Amino acid sequence: MANPLYDGLFGRHAGKSTPFLHLLDGSTVTHQDFLALAARIANVLQQIGLKAGDRVAAQIEKSPEALALYAACAQSGLVFLPLNTAYTVDELTYFIENSGAALIVCDGRSETDLAPVVDKLGAKLETLNADGSGSLTDKARSMPSTFATVDRGADDLAAFLYTSGTTGRSKGAMLTQQNLLSNALTLVQAWRFTGDDVLLHALPIFHTHGLFVATNTTLAAGGSMIFLPKFDLDEMVARMPEATTMMGVPTFYTRLLGDPRFDRASTAHMRLFVSGSAPLLAETHIQFEERTGHRILERYGMTETNMNTSNPYDGERRAGTVGLPLPGIEVKITDPNDGSELPQGEIGEIEVRGPNVFKGYWQMPEKTAAELRENGFFITGDLGRIDEDGYIHIVGRNKDLIISGGYNIYPKEIELVLDEQPGVLESAVVGVPHPDFGETVLGVVVPEPGSTPDLDAIMEAVRASLARFKHPRELIVLDELPRNTMGKVQKNILRDQYNDLFAPA
């Protein structure tokens, strides 16, 4: 018996005294020290009474200890459920209750707020702070530095990642060991990762990009990471000389291009820059090449599927496209009305199938059936076309979604909060272009007849329930929303009307 994910990513580095993490303060964590820390944590999880298949929800800052919790879950056969550190207690309550998590690991600052939710569920709570302190590591310190890896199969669950839905209710995407491991191995090959690679890692580790694409790929190749707590321009420039590769959302690239220190000389040693999570503007791609001589490699994925397509490492990296299907992954374009495959060149819904595609949404069989076909194809909700050379172009979305700085925001969730506010008859939330975040949130509210909504009070209510990155950057009051003859709100008209709201002067 075995545990493919743990063995394939972590266990294979046992005994290696080479660096795995290079930290902000200049210190390093070796593979063997990291594995020992993970094993100590796994012993704590066992002592708490967790059993294979239990969910461990974690809202914790990025740190070596946070990453070790992920490794410990893999080694113990637990399902790791990382949560955005920006989520409010309201938002967390839903994830914790919906997942039925057996353990919640949170920052010490949130302990009091979360205690009632945890009690109600009969779950356990441990703390882990940004500096690595907390009850989890306190207990881990006295534990053995080895742990007997729990047997798991390739089809067993390894992680739950919540992704919002167009109805405003988030869905827990169930990812198996095989989903995660197969994708990491595929990316190692596709992007030529080796044990010599040093990845500049400034992404958060609660989403697919930073946790699976960046970390799992580095682990599968046996390389190391410059593990920064967050994106900070000065740190990126300062640490770039030690790196061979970098992964980021488009905002990382536009911010780097805004800094004159970032140039051909400072990047001459770099092997690869990868972009994803949101569309990279063709002009950013071109500007980047002019400045550095490097062509960014853009790829496309989703929480439900990990990575599906990638521009080639050796061949042409075509600006404005997300490249070709990765080996072992099928991509087709279908008619959104009947699901039939469309001829090459036509625009339709992107569907994908492969070992990367998730198992379904946790306890939501109808939603799973609506998006995951019986034949294994997953309906992405993205609209695209395949050009004559096989490159995939994403041209739009068949889902109401805003992507701001790489974070997905579902307008419905914000509209539900706006609609509840005194004096508001109805609302519409749309994404408009933003120079830093790519897109940002614009809220439009329609007052009830005779009333004047208090916009400050509305924003206060939004702040209380939704994470900061979802807050409308601006609220606009309109007498009515544009509607078509069927009565459906025409968001495209609002988007066009306010297209330049955040354009640089």
Contacting positions for ligand AMP (CB under 6 A): 163, 276-279, 298, 300-303, 322, 380, 382, 394, 397, 403, 408
Pair of tokens at residue 384: 């695209």
CA gap 327, 272 in Å, rounded: 19
Minimum CB–partner distance for residue 280 and ligand AMP (Å): 6
Q: Using CB under 6 A, which of 468, 483, 488, 499 touches ligand MCA?
A: 468
Helix (H) and strand (E) counts in the chain: 17, 25
Q: Is residue 301 a contact residue for ligand MCA (CB under 6 A)? A: yes
Indicate the residue among 139 and 332 with the shorter CB distance to ligand AMP.
332
Indicate the residue among 178 and 208 with the shorter CB distance to ligand AMP.
208
The residue with its CB nearest to ligand MCA is: 405
Residue 163 binding target from ligand AMP, ligand MCA, none, CB below 5 to 8 Å by type:
ligand AMP
Number of residues in contact with ligand MCA, rule: CB under 6 A?
Answer: 22
Pair of tokens at residue 431: 């994404």
Minimum CB–partner distance for residue 437 and ligand MCA (Å): 5
CA gap 386, 347 in Å, rounded: 8
- Beta-sheet pairing, 360-361 with 297-302: unpaired
Q: Is residue 82 a contact residue for ligand MCA (CB under 6 A)? A: no
- The residues, any chain, with a CB within 8 Å of residue 315's CB and separated by 6 or more, are none
Residue 206 binding target from ligand AMP, ligand MCA, none, CB below 5 to 8 Å by type:
none
Q: If you search the block for the tokens 């040693």, which residue do you land on?
A: 269
Q: Using CB under 6 A, which of 216, 254, 277, 310 touches ligand MCA?
A: 277
Q: By CB under 6 A, which span of 21-29, 289-297, 385-393, 402-410 interacts with ligand MCA?
A: 402-410
CA gap 209, 99 in Å, rounded: 22
Q: Is residue 431 a contact residue for ligand MCA (CB under 6 A)? A: no
| DSSP class per residue in 273-323 | EEE-SSPPPHHHHHHHHHHHSPPPEEEEEETTTEEEEE--SSS---TT---
Q: Is residue 303 a contact residue for ligand MCA (CB under 6 A)? A: yes
Pair of tokens at residue 452: 């004047």
CA gap 198, 218 in Å, rounded: 8
CA distances from 379 to 295, 323, 358 (A): 30, 18, 12
Q: Is residue 254 a contact residue for ligand MCA (CB under 6 A)? A: no
Q: Cα dihedral angle (73, 79, 85, 90), rounded to 10 degrees?
A: -140
Q: By CB under 6 A, which span of 184-192, 296-304, 319-327, 368-376 interacts with ligand MCA?
A: 296-304
CA gap 333, 343 in Å, rounded: 8
Minimum CB–partner distance for residue 52 and ligand MCA (Å): 26
Indicate the residue among 360 and 406 with the shorter CB distance to ligand MCA.
406
Minimum CB–partner distance for residue 446 and ligand AMP (Å): 28
Indicate the residue among 302 and 466 with the shorter CB distance to ligand AMP.
302
Q: If you search the block for the tokens 């882990």, which residue do you land on?
A: 128
Indicate the residue among 125 and 205 with the shorter CB distance to ligand MCA.
205
The residue with its CB nearest to ligand AMP is: 303
Interface with ligand MCA in residues 189-218 (CB under 6 A): 203-204, 207-210
Residue 437 binding target from ligand AMP, ligand MCA, none, CB below 5 to 8 Å by type:
ligand MCA
CA gap 335, 282 in Å, rounded: 27
Question: Under the phi-then-psi rule, with left for phi > 0, alpha for psi from -120 to 50, and beta for the rest, what region is 438?
Answer: left
Minimum CB–partner distance for residue 383 and ligand AMP (Å): 9
Provide the binding-site residues for ligand MCA, judged by CB under 6 A: 203-204, 207-210, 230-231, 249, 251, 276-277, 301-303, 404-407, 437, 468-469
